[in-house]
Copies of this chain bind each other. A is one copy, B any other.
Amino acid sequence: MATVSALGYALLCALHRGPLTGYELVQRMRKPIGYYWTAQQSQIYPELARLSANGLIEHDAEAGPGPRQRKTHRLTAAGREALAGWLVEPPAPRAFRDETLLRTYALAAADPEGMREFYLAEAETYQRRLDAFQEQHADLLSRHADDPSHPQFGAYATLELALAGTPPRIRWCRWMAEQMAELARRREPSG
C-alpha cells in the first residue's frame, strides 16, 4: 500500500463528512481546517490526483466554469479505512513553530518600547480570533453539537480547545506588554 502524506490525511479528514470539489477543499484549508492545518491551492490539486491514483478518493466530473471540468471528490471504502486507521495512530513528533516565542527568547536584544507594541498587537490579534471562535462555538452549541454522537462534535471539540487555550495566551501577551513598559521606565527614568 502506498504511503499517504500528512497533507493527504488532511484532505481525507476534510472529505470525511461528504463530497467536495477541489475548490471547496481550498476554502476548507483556509477557514475551518486552516486554523490547525493549512495548504495552498498548488499543493491540493496534485495531492488530490495522488490520493485518486492510490484509490483513496474518487470523483464525478461535470462541465464547469473555465476551461476544465468541475470534479466532486469523495472517499472510497479504502480511503475511509485509511483515514480511520490513521486517526488512532500515535502522532509522529511534528515541528512546532511559534515566531512569538522565538522573538521572546531573544527579548534582551530588542527595544522594550517596540516589544511592548508588538505584544499589544499580538493580544489584539488573539482577542479577535477568540471572538470569532466564540461565535462559531455558540452556533454549534445551538445545534447541539456538544453531544459526542453529533456528526459535528469533532468541529465543536476543536473550538473547545481554542476557547480554553486562547485566553491564557492573551493574558500572557498583556503581561509581557506590562513587563516591557516596566523595563522601558527603568531604562529611561525621565521625570
**Contacts from A to B (Cβ < 8 Å):** 6, 9-10, 12-13, 16-17, 32-33, 35-38, 80, 83-84, 86-92, 94-112, 114-115, 117-118, 121-122, 148-149, 151, 153-155, 157-158, 160-161, 164-165, 168-169, 171-172, 175-176, 179-180, 182-183, 186
- The copy count of this chain in the complex is 2
- The 7 closest A-B CB pairs, nearest first, are A88-B114, A107-B154, A36-B101, A13-B106, A87-B110, A164-B168, A36-B98
**Cα-based distance from A137 to B20 in the complex (angstroms):** 47
**Cα-based distance from A32 to B106 in the complex (angstroms):** 12
Least CB distance, A85 to chain B, in whole angstroms:
9
Residues of B within 8 A of A87 (CB): 103, 106-107, 109-110, 114-115, 118
Least CB distance, A174 to chain B, in whole angstroms:
12
- A-B contacts, 20 of them at CB < 8 A, read A6-B97, A13-B105, A16-B109, A33-B102, A35-B96, A36-B96, A37-B98, A37-B102, A84-B109, A87-B110, A88-B114, A90-B118, A91-B122, A94-B99, A104-B154, A105-B154, A105-B158, A149-B183, A157-B176, A161-B172
For A161, the closest partner residue in chain B by CB is B172
For A168, the closest partner residue in chain B by CB is B164
For A150, the closest partner residue in chain B by CB is B108
Least CB distance, A119 to chain B, in whole angstroms:
10
Given A102-B37, A115-B88, A180-B148, check contact A108 B154 (CB 8 Å): yes
Least CB distance, A166 to chain B, in whole angstroms:
9
